[in-house]
Structure 1
Amino acid sequence: MDGAAPLDTLDALGPRLRRARRARDLTMEQVAERSAISQSSLSRLEAGLRQPSLAQLLTLARIYDVAVGELLEEAGARPAAVIDPATAPEQEANGLRFRVVDRQDPGAALSALRVTVPAERAGEGRGERAGAAGGDAVASRRYAHTGDEWLYVLAGRLRLTLGERVHVLDPGMAAHFDAATPHRLDAEDGRDAELLLIAARLPAARPPAETRGRTAREAP
């Protein structure tokens, strides 16, 4: 679920926030009072000079009575999509198996996955059950990236490592966390864990004006 949105996404988000506020006939002062976001922060968000957090986007979407997706993407009628996970090709990455169960629109703000955490992923410090002592170097990594992730355990038991904390989730339990926190998914009790994972990708932070327009190779 890595991959930052291009800068033009952040450029477009500001005007959408401004249009949404004006459509509700609200001043920045009124929005600041309702959202606990300072007027200066709101001004920078609308100018495209600051990356909003998911919590801020959710708060503003609620105040403006719009969907978060309308703020992150150009509004427009799109056909509904019904996805059968059984027909989606199974893929594998980072020691996990998954099927994409969203519309797979380019640049979409949300990504939904049906994930299988294999029993072989025993957890850090305990080794991979099917591998050599000490575990596989790739499988033992933690991952961190921009955005938020929400997951819901469907079957099996999931060991979720977030930073230095470890949580064991049973079926029916959910977790919501900042994906910038180093994290890792493992199976408990020698059985596969099945879960639904939704990742929200946020726009990349806008670079300083003096570096804007340069290529990645040119930027310091």
Structure 2
Amino acid sequence: MDELDNVLAAVGPRLRALRISRDATLSALSTVTGISVSTLSRLESGQRRPNLELLLPLAKAHQVPLDELVGAPTTGDPRPIINKGMTIVPLTRRPGGVQAYKLVLNAGSPEEPTPQVHEGYEWIYVLNGKLRLVLGDQDIVLPTGEAAEFDTRIPHWFGRADARPVEFISLFGRQGERMHVRAKPAPAEQGRGSGFAGSCRGAGQATPR
């Protein structure tokens, strides 16, 4: 993969990070840009090669310069997206498949949930702080070291559980891809090991509010 391919491969994760940071759905972005939802989804997943005809209206809709979309460095971590007290750092550069992000919610007052739905499957792991997750009719708190996984077609939202900052990792499969776990603890070990193994089964393992 040459330098141009490296740059283009980073566009999809950055487009998704920008959209998430602005709490925008694919449908809303489609209405603003005139680009179909399917095309936007393929751009974000790396299945559609970006071009100026697509990137110019997207840069205008997100109110960022064009080089913000394509100017990520070819080595090392891409530049973070910062918006509304949230920092999103894309950690993967390959097109398609499961994408990884580090998200940081800055300190501030907890916000009211605004659940959204979209295609895909997500797995999150809390690095620091307490993350509030609203998933369907569940309203739970994930403390440091706990994880949750869920189908993003279920109405969902996440934010600070209190006024302190939160850091977490998100693994997201646009087409519903899930992580492939090659090694798991024995059943007897799951109950006495670290909280990670037990809590990664689903959001229901977390602490109810």
TM bracket, shorter-chain basis: 0.3 to 0.5
TM-score (norm 1): 0.44
TM-score (norm 2): 0.46
More helix by share: 2
Mark the structure with the bigger radius of gyration: 1
